Structure 1
Amino acid sequence: MTKKKEILFCDYFENWIETYKVGAIADVTLKKYYMTAKQLRSICPKLFMSDFDRNEYQKIINEYAKTHEKQTVTDFHHQIKGCIVDAFHDGILAKDPTYRAVIKGREPREKRPKFLQKEELTKLLHSLDLTHGINRDWFILLLAKTGMRFAECLAITPADFDWTTNHLTIDKTWDYKRTTGGFKKTKTESSVRKIAIDWQIVGQFKPLLNGLPPNEPIFVEKLENGQYKRQYNSTYVNYMVTKCKTLGIPQIGLHALRHTHASVLLAEGVSIQTISSRLGHADVGVTQETYAHVLDELKKKDDQKMMSVLMQIA
């Protein structure tokens, strides 16, 4: 029988990926786990599970943080922590070595803004040309109003719209990285969801989709040879940046529309639980971490409201 001393953490982590992640998560996410495994092979190739403690784990984080930004280190930490928590519950580790780990990292480079303010989003939507049939502007509108991911929106078909209940089903993505395209599974199981859509979207999209093949993607052109036209994320991003620049608003990419969607809803008082479900996050904790900046601002406003109420009680 294999002794615990003989189990290398690198081996355990790779076996954990094969057991719990392969077939359960999207390929793009799975590649990130394998990249983490490769990093661990480089940082701690001889670390045994029986020698694994908080000090050893902090050394791993510190070493990785030397060459990566703090957000990247945070993602690295979350992936490893998932494995370690399982090892702890399986009795392989007596204690959780990730407890109170200090996340470090290099200063982030200047990046595009992560989201637009409500007024900026309104300006963007008002500038869209929705008079010449299905185009990129319709795509931007649907992203902004639903908070979908890029690949999820590409995979939307007319059949996904329920005009009776005003809901949209998100249960697949478009494999835009493959030359021939095609439908594939969502990023995670929790990404499969049914979300409410507003009356404006219903009024705009219902006549637009009338008569279209129910199970064909709306935003992916089908060529005469039966193949689908290749889709590039960069094409849409460049289009968005140019449009924002023309409008004089922060130049954001497509994924920032997802962040904008969530931020606007949070600021308007929609519960974090509802938003988490709408975005297809695995749990509320992911949403809280992603939108901590908005939640902090809301907390300040809540503090002001509380003080005002307490002053009136006296």
Structure 2
Amino acid sequence: MPEGTILLIDDEVGLRRVVARVLEFEGYTVLQEGTAQRGLDTLRQHAAEVLLILCDVKLPDAHGVALLPRLRALAPLAEVILLTAYGTIADGVRAMKEGAFDYLTKGDSDDQLLVLVERAMDKARLQHRVAELEKQVGAQHSFASMIGTSAALQQAKSLAERVAPTEATVLLEGPTGSGKELFAQAIHQASPRRSKPFVAVNCSAFPKDLLESELFGYRKGAFTGATTDKKGLFEEASGGTLFLDEIGELDIGLQAKLLRVLEAQEFHKLGDPKPTRANVRLVAATNRNLRQEADLGHFRADLYYRLSVFVVPVPPLNARREDIVPLAEYF
């Protein structure tokens, strides 16, 4: 039997009760309100449990289509179906643009209503499950999930937690195996970009030419074998975080291209004369002393200064001896 909570907002008391009775007979829990304001108040109290909102278009204190953004803001994972006795194509189009699941004319058969409700409820349930899974994945990559209580680890976490909510570029310094990618993931999860992609690439794992196409993508025909357009990792990470591991291994020519991205927030795909906008937060990591590499001319000094806006030294395990036992017990 179907289950879940539905908020029904309609000022026609008789019709509202009939619709509620039909839905309750199917196994749904139905909250009823007769005005937009009371509907918003009830939704505010029950936002976590409401999966579907059935809302009349012509309410005494609001138009249902205009109310849509406020309903979506209070319960972004819920679906909305608008009900009207005066259905028009224009209102239907506008409702769908504002994010309504569908638009139903009053007087349609109960069967049609129930089919539409079940489809909307299925979608809302799926959205809740996805959100819960994302929450669980986020918890696995949070600062709180890091194992250890050593002073060195706590100091590194404190620095990373400070910079995480900002848009600043971060450079993680530490030897191989110290957990730099864990820090990068935790920074992403604690940032406003957490709902967008986290994309990681090891710069030492690709030859120069291949890494350039991986990072920036290419247009069809850019080189032999480029039979289709390909998105680069900067596009794949759009809106989120791009983690460049072992950035000290980056070829000097690619360093210039990366500097361009950091300075202008745009890049050129291979074979494309037009620039592509880049909307990513960059976190880089290295096991080298990049300042020393820059002083020796092995790494671009201007790129180093762009990358080292905020440096987080990630301690090696030999500086966290008190964390060895908890780590061994965990693994």
Q: TM-score, normalised by structure 2?
A: 0.22
Choose 1 or 2 for highest CA Rg.
2
Q: TM-score, normalised by structure 1?
A: 0.22
Bigger fraction of residues in strand: 2
